[in-house]
Amino acid sequence: MIKKVLMLALGLLCGLGSMTAQVRTHSLGVELGSHNVLLYELTLARHFSVVSRTGLVVGAGFSAKRDVNGKQFTFGGLIPFVDIEPRWHFSRDSSSGLYHTGGYLSLRFDGEWDRATLFGHKYAMGDDRPQYTLAFGPYFGWTFGVTDNSYLRLATGLNFFRTKVAYYSGGHYWRTTNTESAISVGLEMVYGIRF
C-alpha cells in the first residue's frame, strides 16, 4: 500500500507540474494554533499543491476509555514534527494569490520526535518512553481567507501511526494503530500568514 501511495504522490509531482497554477507557484508562511509551524507550499497545478511543514504540534488527546489514572483527556506537551502533504483543492477560484481558499483533500505523511517533547509528561524511573512516531492518513480541510495574505484553516483526518517505544532496561517495541486497537482522529485549527 505504501508503494502505491508513493507512486501516486510521484505521479502528482511529475505529471501535474506543467499545468498552469491559479495562485503563486510557491510561498512561505507561518501557522499558529494547534500546529505552530513554518511552511512551504509548492503549487503544481490549479487544484494541486504540496505543503511541507515543520514546527511544534500540541499533543492533546481524548479517549472514550479512561486510562490507568482515570483520565479521558490528556495533554502531552509540544512535540517537534515535520510533515509533507499533497493536497487536491476541490473548490473554485481562490480569493488570494498567495494561498488556496476553500476545501481540500490530502494525504498527510508525518514524523514526530516524541523524545524531544516540551512541557510533556514526566516519566518516572523505569517507565517506557516513546522515541518517535511515523504516521500517514487522509485529511479533509477548509481554508477561510481573512486578508490577501492571512487565513484561518480547519482540518480533520485519520492517522495510522507507528511509534517506537524504548524500554528503560534497554531494547524497544512498536505501538501501532493495530496493537492499540485505536482510531486516531486528528483535528487542526490554525491561523496562517503567507509571504
Q: What are the respective helix, strand and coil percentages of the chain, to the nearest 5?
A: 10, 60, 30
Single-letter code of the amino acid located at 158: L
Domain ranges of the chain: 2-194
pLDDT at residue 164 in the model = 94
At 13-44, the pLDDT tens digits run 554 444 444 677 899 999 999 999 999 999 99
Residue showing cell 496562517: 192
Using DSSP bridges, classify how beta strands 26-33 and 35-45 pair: parallel, antiparallel or unpaired.
antiparallel
Q: 171-180, long-range: CB within 8 Å, 24+ apart, which pairs?
A: 172/131, 173/128, 175/130
Average pLDDT over the chain, rounded to an integer: 86
Q: Is residue 158 pLDDT above 90, yes or no?
A: yes
CB 137 within 8 A of CB 182: no
Determine the CATH number of domain 2-194. 2.40.160
Q: State the cell numbers at 174.
A: 512498536
Q: What is the pTM of this model?
A: 0.80
**What amino acid occupies position 160?**
F
166 by Cβ neighbours in 10 Å (0-12 / 13-18 / 19+) ranks as middle
